[in-house]
Amino acid sequence: MNSAEENILIKRSFTDVISDYYQLTKPGITMSVLVSMLVGFILGSGANIDFVILIHALIGTYLIAAGTGAHNQFMERVSDRLMKRTSKRPMPDQRVDSKSGMIFSLSMIFSGLLYLILMVNPVAGAVSFATSLIYLGVYTPMKKVSPINIAIGAIPGALPPVGGWAAATGNIAEPGMWLLFAIMFFWQVPHVLSIAWLCKDDYSSAGLKMLPKKDDKGYKTVFWSMICALCLFPVTLAMYQLDISGMIFLVLGMVFALGFLAYTIKFGLDRTKANAKQMMFASIAYLPLVWIAVFLDRFISF
């Protein structure tokens, strides 16, 4: 840490420092991970939910997810400094020095792994740790290499419900967990593409190769967004046909997928930033609405 960083940190209160470390954990994304893990756990549990194991799974998953978010910020601290949307994060803004951020993030990841292995089961620990490894070891560096990073990043982004199901059952061989994975995977691609379209200049200035960078007319962005939005329909139907969810989820899931598709089509017909923003907000709304449909279906059915 240089003298300038030391002076910045000395002037900050204890509350400010805690707030900065909390921001490192990407709390919004971490909360989404926890909710998705919860969905997988509840569906995997069937009629008998072990709430003690659930609490342990939430704690362990939080540690790994928060640590992964923090380590991602450590790895991208230089590129974050070059983008308007991330330049005020704790590390680019020098409110947290890189060494402390690295120690903090790795401590959380490995303590979360150990916690899940000891308090839940080794399979749940392995799934969560694999999520972290793919996100940090493959997706994060790939962002500077190829636009395929969006598809790669959707893999760890879709694994939380698999981790939740594994926490409840101790295995990863049941089709239900992989259908939940598919919902998150196909949702995440257009979600990220909409953000990348809105922020393509910002991403380019930092040397990040998101798909819209070399897609000025938006044909590729629209194509992959449409394909993934359409794939949500057969996955939703499969959840019902395999008796993983009931009629409530089928109806609501189809309605929400249709709404998401409508905004994707609107963006495809007129690729303005305003329409990209609407598609982004539609994607933000879709996932929690689908998870609410899962909970309604699960608890009303039983």
Query: pTM higher than 0.85 for the full model?
Result: yes
Q: What is the pLDDT of residue 302?
A: 53
Q: What is the pLDDT of residue 11?
A: 63
pLDDT digits 0-9 by tens, 3-23: 444 454 456 678 888 999 999
Measured CA distances, 166 to 31, 35, 51, 114, 203 (Å): 19, 15, 15, 16, 35
Q: What is the pLDDT of residue 148?
A: 87
Q: What is the pLDDT of residue 88?
A: 87
Distance CA 187, CA 259 (A): 12
SS3 content of the chain, % helix, strand, coil (to 5): 80, 0, 20
Q: Tell me the backbone φ, ψ of residue 246, rounded to 5 degrees.
A: -105, -165
pLDDT digits 0-9 by tens, 89-111: 888 888 989 999 999 999 999 99
Q: What is the pLDDT of residue 5?
A: 47
Q: What is the pLDDT of residue 291?
A: 95
Q: What is the pLDDT of residue 47?
A: 82
Distance CA 248, CA 263 (A): 23
Query: Of 204, 231, 230, 226, whose CA–CA distance to 215 is shortest?
Result: 204
- Provide block-wise average pLDDT over 10 residues at a time, the chain (302 residues): 49 83 93 96 91 97 97 90 85 89 96 97 97 95 88 95 96 94 96 88 75 74 94 97 94 97 95 92 96 91 56
Measured CA distances, 84 to 16, 98, 229 (Å): 22, 20, 29
Residue whose structure tokens are 């893999």: 155
Q: What is the pLDDT of residue 216?
A: 73
